[in-house]
């Protein structure tokens, strides 16, 4: 310990570091203070906050717990503990903490906002709306409340009401990023794309879309003859399949196109129209010596001012003939129509519970289609559900080592039936007849009604009529499967 440092010196140093965003320095200084003056709840709270802001949520939870043993009726500590628990994914425990906070302080606005947020994540939308409306009674001019209510209304499919909430938030705080982002997603769902793409660019401020940053200029659609443009993907695999149709148009405006993709996509996109080189994303960013300009993949529709009636035609990748032969041999013994199935998406997605189902939900449909042979294209933990299925379904998961394998499998099938996953996009990209089973309020790209999509002409959409209830969807799929 430096000579002459008092507890007051350490506290001042910690607060100074905290204010300038040096969370590690703040944590160290607060701990030094507490070693001299243990049990100070205010400084324990500061320490927990600094740990939480640095991303050390377990550390923050432990410090808040120590503080709560000293002041169990401290509403701020209860709320802060809930925030850290929510970040860790412990939603029920987080909700308990927020409820404790409002029991101690019934007008605690932040706790009410957090209750609404957790209930929204859990899909308990009516209860979430009640929480946000409670805050409106307390602070009707708080833009955060209108954003939270807008998010809940949007998730419930009440898009007009959601837009009203977002616009109210923007009247109160014109620069509110969350309100503009929410408004953009709603307008995309409604097909009002002229006004949506600019808001959609705010996604980088509200989600972790890409792990690297570059100093190179952002490409805005200008000509780039004699230069190299890096296009990098963002979050989902399906997004790459959906927006790859823009690569030839990009190429028409310039020189060399370098595409960076997540693992599993490189082989599929080698030789893709409009792409000169494909690299697989690793742990390090691309060398800036290799390109002159950069653009995120999902900015391309906005750059080309895409409207519903100007979506570029889908472009299919070239799947090696040798790989197609392998898959034809693998499926040769199957009789009747060969139908690929996928019933679950990535469980790490925030809205996976809405879009995914269990294999047991599909089994009655599969049993009724006696003239079909089913091939599971399901990967990940959900594929293990096949072990308990009392129906002969070919499990292809061990062969699906990358998306070129999946593409070859799809081309060897007659039909793909899937929930909203990357396989849906890949099958549509390949022009394969594809039936997609959608949640009542799906991702924006599927729109709000209709059984078709301008993104994929070979695709048919089946929409839930009641949130969480797949029965009407499965009945419609069974009827159509029996009719072909």
- Do the domain assignments include residue 2? no
Are residues 345 and 421 in contact, defined by beta-carbon separation less than 8 angstroms?
yes
Are residues 359 and 389 in contact, defined by beta-carbon separation less than 8 angstroms?
yes
Report d(CA 102, CA 79) in Å as an integer.
Answer: 9
Domain stop point among 310, 337, 370: 310
Are residues 464 and 470 in contact, defined by beta-carbon separation less than 8 angstroms?
yes
Encoded tokens for 202? 């705010």
Report d(CA 112, CA 415) in Å as an integer.
Answer: 48
CATH code of the domain containing 412: 3.40.50.2000
Instruction: Specify whether 162 is located in the same domain as 73.
Output: yes
Instruction: Specify whether 119 is located in the same domain as 159.
Output: yes
Instruction: Specify whether 342 is located in the same domain as 461.
Output: yes
CATH code of the domain containing 29: 1.25.40.10
95-147: pLDDT as tens digits:
999 999 999 999 999 999 999 999 998 889 999 999 999 999 999 999 999 99
Instruction: Specify whether 467 is located in the same domain as 338.
Output: yes
Check residue 371 and give its pLDDT.
87
Instruction: Specify whether 198 is located in the same domain as 230.
Output: no
- Do the domain assignments include residue 423? yes
Check residue 412 and give its pLDDT.
96
Encoded tokens for 290? 């290799």
Encoded tokens for 189? 């769902």
Check residue 353 and give its pLDDT.
83
Check residue 5 and give its pLDDT.
74
Check residue 169 and give its pLDDT.
97
Residues of the chain with pLDDT under 70: 1-4, 483-484
- Do the domain assignments include residue 305? yes
Instruction: Specify whether 152 is located in the same domain as 116.
Output: yes
- Do the domain assignments include residue 217? no
Domain stop point among 252, 275, 310: 310
203-257: pLDDT as tens digits:
888 777 788 999 999 999 999 999 999 999 998 899 999 999 999 999 999 899 9
Instruction: Specify whether 113 is located in the same domain as 59.
Output: yes
- In order of 4, 32, 34, 135, 266, the CA distances from 9 in angstroms are 9, 10, 12, 39, 55
Check residue 348 and give its pLDDT.
77
Domain residues for the domain of 134 are: 7-206
Instruction: Specify whether 200 is located in the same domain as 247.
Output: no
Instruction: Specify whether 143 is located in the same domain as 237.
Output: no
Check residue 2 and give its pLDDT.
56
Instruction: Specify whether 281 is located in the same domain as 406.
Output: no
CATH code of the domain containing 264: 3.40.50
Nearest to 265 by CA among 243, 289, 292: 243
- Do the domain assignments include residue 443? yes
Report d(CA 318, CA 351) in Å as an integer.
Answer: 32
How many domains does the chain fold into?
Answer: 3
- Do the domain assignments include residue 213? no
- Do the domain assignments include residue 52? yes
- Do the domain assignments include residue 218? no
The model's pTM: 0.88
CB atoms within 10 A of CB 337: 15
Nearest to 22 by CA among 14, 12, 11, 30: 14
Instruction: Specify whether 157 is located in the same domain as 25.
Output: yes
Check residue 346 and give its pLDDT.
82
Instruction: Specify whether 302 is located in the same domain as 346.
Output: no
Domain stop point among 171, 206, 241: 206
């Amino acid at each position: 310990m430096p000579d002459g440092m008092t507890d007051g010196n350490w506290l001042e140093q910690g607060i100074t570091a905290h204010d300038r965003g040096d969370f590690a320095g703040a944590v160290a200084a607060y701990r030094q203070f507490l070693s001299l003056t243990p049990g100070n709840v205010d400084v324990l709270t500061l320490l927990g906050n600094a740990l939480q802001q640095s991303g050390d949520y377990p550390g923050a939870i432990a410090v808040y717990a120590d503080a709560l043993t000293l002041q169990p009726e401290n509403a701020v500590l209860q709320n802060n503990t809930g925030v850290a628990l929510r970040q860790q994914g412990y939603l029920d425990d987080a909700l308990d903490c927020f409820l404790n906070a409002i029991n101690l302080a019934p007008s605690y606005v932040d706790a009410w906002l957090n209750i609404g947020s957790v209930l929204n994540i859990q899909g308990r939308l009516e209860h979430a709306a009640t929480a946000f409306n409670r805050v409106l009674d307390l602070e009707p001019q708080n833009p955060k409340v209108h954003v939270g209510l807008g998010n809940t209304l949007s998730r419930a499919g009440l898009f007009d009401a959601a837009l009203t909430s977002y616009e109210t938030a923007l009247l109160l705080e014109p620069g509110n990023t969350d309100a503009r982002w929410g408004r953009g997603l709603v307008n995309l769902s409604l097909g009002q794309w002229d006004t949506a793409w600019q808001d959609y660019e705010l996604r980088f401020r509200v989600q972790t879309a890409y792990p690297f940053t570059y100093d190179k200029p952002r490409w805005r659609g200008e000509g780039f003859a004699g230069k190299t443009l890096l296009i990098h993907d963002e979050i989902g695999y399906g997004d790459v399949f959906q927006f790859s149709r823009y690569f030839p148009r990009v190429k028409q405006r310039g020189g060399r196109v370098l595409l960076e993709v997540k693992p599993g996509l490189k082989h599929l996109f080698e030789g893709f129209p409009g792409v000169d080189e494909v690299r697989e994303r690793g742990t390090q960013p691309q060398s800036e010596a290799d390109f002159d300009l950069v653009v995120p993949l999902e900015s391309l529709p906005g750059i080309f001012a895409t409207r519903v009636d100007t979506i570029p035609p889908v472009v299919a990748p070239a799947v090696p003939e040798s790989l197609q032969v392998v898959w034809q041999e693998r499926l040769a013994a199957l009789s009747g129509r060969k139908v690929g199935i996928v019933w679950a998406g990535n469980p790490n997605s925030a809205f996976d519970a809405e879009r995914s189902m269990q294999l047991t939900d599909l089994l009655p449909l599969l049993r009724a289609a006696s003239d079909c042979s089913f091939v599971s294209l399901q990967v990940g933990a959900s594929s293990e559900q096949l072990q308990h299925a009392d129906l002969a379904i070919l499990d292809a998961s061990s062969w699906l080592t990358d998306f070129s394998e999946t593409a070859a499998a799809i081309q060897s099938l007659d039909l793909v039936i899937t929930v909203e996953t990357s396989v849906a996009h890949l099958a549509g990209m390949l022009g394969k007849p594809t039936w997609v089973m959608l949640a009542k309020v799906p991702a924006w790209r599927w729109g709000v009604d209709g059984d078709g999509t301008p993104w994929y002409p070979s695709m048919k959409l089946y929409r839930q009529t009641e949130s969480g209830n797949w029965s009407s969807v499965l009945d419609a799929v069974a009827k159509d499967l029996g009719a072909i």
